[in-house]
Structure 1
Amino acid sequence: VLYDIKFLGSTEVEQPKGTEVVRDAVRKLKFARHIKKSEGQKIPKVELQISIYGVKILEPKTKEVQHNCQLHRISFCADDKTDKRIFTFICKDSESNKHLCYVFDSEKCAEEITLTIGQAFDLAYRKFLESGGKDVETRKQIAGLQKRIQDLETENTELKNKVHDLENKLRITQVSTSPAGTVTPKSPSTDIFDMIPFSPISHQSSIPTRNGSQPPPVPSRSAEIKRDLFGAEPFDPFNCGAGDFPPDIQSKLDEMQEGFKMGLTLEGTVFCLDPLDSRC
């Protein structure tokens, strides 16, 4: 939806919502415009483009984008109930993360524009829940799994190095304790730790049978095992907490979700230039 309006400007505010916040911002920008008007400067005209992707402020002739406000960053929108020309909204700047209040002078359609922004926000939020929200959760899960895999690979490399060091120490010990510096040949039936390798076939064959029946199966112990051979907990890809996400990735993925969760407040209020005006 397009609107041809006048742009009074934008100013930084301390809070993302509130009637008093926008009232002070409008009063400030109106006063600044009165000074510029007395100097012969006119209020610039802009084209306001409202869609489910955001609110854009364009230069009418060149269509150059002066400001691009994403809907999930807009937190408050209000129009003047006594002056149908003035409306404003608060948006969080994408670069500085500061809250900016934008003030406009329309052709007596301030309430209509405010409602249009509210409808666009509602549609964008529904679209986010239907598709975007699932995409964000999927990307977050993938990022968490990738980091978990990197951590496991690093841990696996460290454990391999430890095993290699133990093998070297064992060889040195065997050389130093054998007579005349000769290495005692090891039996092929034992491993490097002088342990007989486990064989499920030989283990089962040693169990006596009755009447030619097969030996009873060995009960599974997987439920009792909490850690692996090296003392590490087994990897569970579905058990990744929020702390596993890198801060930069998590902040970007959560930004849209947090913005929509904050919601957009639509409010009709009274703006004025004179702080002593009885309407304020």
Structure 2
Amino acid sequence: MNRAFSRKKDKTWMHTPEALSKHYIPYNAKFLGSTEVEQPKGTEVVRDAVRKLKFARHIKKSEGQKIPKVELQISIYGVKILEPKTKAEEITLTIGQAFDLAYRKFLESGGKDVETRKQIAGLQKRIQDLETENMELKNKVQDLESQLRITQVSTSPAGSVTPKSPSTDIFDMIPFSPISHPASMPARNGTQPPPIPSRSTEIKRDLFGAEPFDPFNCGAGDFPPDIQSKLDEMQEGFKMGLTLEGTVFCLDPLDSRC
């Protein structure tokens, strides 16, 4: 067995083990300061450190500074150095009083402040979620519109022209065209116009055996050249918008041809 350990075991201690394990032993001392050492233990190391601190104390004393007094609290958990002038007890009491007042205020309000803050936090989170959802829906709508445009462009044949409605005159009537097809005429009032009867090659006669009058079959083309040229000029004038006012016609040449 180690002799040093045996001597310490037989030695009578100043304090009981309970005082060092459950409490601490206080001592009042003067704090010279602290300094760094090259090794963590050794008598010479401690002597050099104390010598440096005493030299620093003489310098501070010559400058008029006093050595602070501290309290050493020694226990099995370590050594604490406390300055008694820090008023630690007053600080602890002030903190305890502040917590006590805060708890009383909470009890008086019935916890309404906490509940209100929780509701506000929940509403703020809900608003943020709705804004995010709204932005996602907008992006989806834009994507669908883009896909619809691409589909319309791909399905429409190349070089196709959108059919335009025929132009009308000032009386909202479609101008007459001898080559217009009956299917191209638009419906009026939601109904299709009656079909134009086809001309039969046979000449139909009435009850008296006479041929019915046909303004389109009056022997056109059998007129003299001068009359035919006048008729062509009048037809071109009618196409250009020419109107007849106060004109007297003589239909004798036409009567002889019809």
State TM-score, norm by structure 1.
Answer: 0.24
Matched, 1:126 2:104: yes
SS for the counterpart of 1:269 is: coil
Residues 249/190 of structure 1: CA separation in 2 closer, same or farther (3 Å cut): closer
1 CA distance for matches of 2:61 and 2:249? Answer: 19
Which consecutive unaligned segments of at least 5 residues does structure 1 have? 61-106
How far residue 175 of structure 1 moved from its aligned partner, in angstroms, is 2.7
- How many correspondences in the alignment? 234
Contact 1:5 1:48 in 2 (8 A): yes
SS for the counterpart of 2:245 is: strand
1:54 aligned residue (78, 81, 86):
78
2 CA distance for matches of 1:220 and 1:227? Answer: 16
How far residue 131 of structure 1 moved from its aligned partner, in angstroms, is 3.5
SS for the counterpart of 1:185 is: coil
Residues 110/131 of structure 1: CA separation in 2 closer, same or farther (3 Å cut): same
Contact 1:7 1:45 in 2 (8 A): yes
How far residue 169 of structure 1 moved from its aligned partner, in angstroms, is 1.1
Which consecutive unaligned segments of at least 5 residues does structure 2 have? 1-24
Matched, 1:38 2:62: yes
| Aligned CA-pair RMSD | 48.9
Deviations 1:87-142 (A, max 9, x none): xxxxxxxxxxxxxxxxxxxx999999977764553232111343395324423432
Residues 188/12 of structure 1: CA separation in 2 closer, same or farther (3 Å cut): farther
SS for the counterpart of 2:214 is: coil
SS for the counterpart of 1:153 is: helix
- Which structure's relative contact order is higher, taking Cα pairs within 8 Å and 6+ residues apart? 1
Larger radius of gyration: 2
2 CA distance for matches of 1:38 and 1:271? Answer: 146
Contact 1:159 1:230 in 2 (8 A): no
2 CA distance for matches of 1:47 and 1:234? Answer: 143
Residues 245/275 of structure 1: CA separation in 2 closer, same or farther (3 Å cut): closer
2 CA distance for matches of 1:272 and 1:240? Answer: 16
Deviations 1:205-248 (A, max 9, x none): 99999999999999999999999999999999999999999999
State TM-score, norm by structure 2.
Answer: 0.26
How far residue 183 of structure 1 moved from its aligned partner, in angstroms, is 9.0
Contact 2:186 2:192 in 1 (8 A): no
Residues 189/155 of structure 1: CA separation in 2 closer, same or farther (3 Å cut): farther
SS for the counterpart of 2:167 is: coil
- Share of identical aligned residues, percent? 92
Residues 112/146 of structure 1: CA separation in 2 closer, same or farther (3 Å cut): closer
1 CA distance for matches of 2:187 and 2:109? Answer: 61
